[in-house]
């Protein structure tokens, strides 16, 4: 009986889903870079972190995602998934020159 309740809760759509706290686990893989490009990318990353919307938080920056093909991952938390996704679109355009690939996993906070 409890399993049916969990499945039903997981499958129900809520009208306020966009306002549900959401986590974004973003794996990334860098392109090969010269030392000069790596310094430029690092400086740009510092600036990009300052551009986060007020309701989006960078909860963690991790290097070495062992067991994957990625160099590391980021964890973002957002009060509104819409806010993160709007920011993410511009962010991806800015990192495209030094990030070869990303893979994002999205999760909604259980209430």
8-26 residue pLDDT tens: 444 444 445 556 789 999 9
- The pTM for the full model equals 0.78
CA distance 108 to 34: 38
pLDDT grade, residue 107 (50/70/90)?
very high
Domains by residue range for the chain, with CATH: 2-108 (3.30.70.100)
User: Is the sign of the CA dihedral 102, 80, 46, 63 positive or negative?
Assistant: negative
CA distance 70 to 27: 6
pLDDT of 71 reads 95
**Site of tokens 């740009």:** 44
């Amino acid at each position: 009986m409890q399993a049916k309740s969990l499945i039903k809760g997981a499958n129900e759509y809520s009208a306020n889903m966009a306002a549900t706290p959401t986590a974004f686990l973003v794996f990334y893989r860098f392109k090969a870079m010269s030392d000069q490009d790596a310094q430029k990318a690092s400086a740009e990353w510092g600036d990009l972190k300052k551009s986060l919307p007020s309701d989006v938080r960078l909860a963690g920056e991790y290097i070495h995602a062992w067991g994957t093909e990625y160099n590391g991952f980021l964890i973002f938390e957002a009060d509104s998934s819409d806010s993160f996704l709007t920011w993410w679109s511009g962010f991806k355009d800015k990192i495209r020159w030094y990030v070869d690939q990303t893979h994002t996993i999205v999760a909604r906070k259980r209430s």
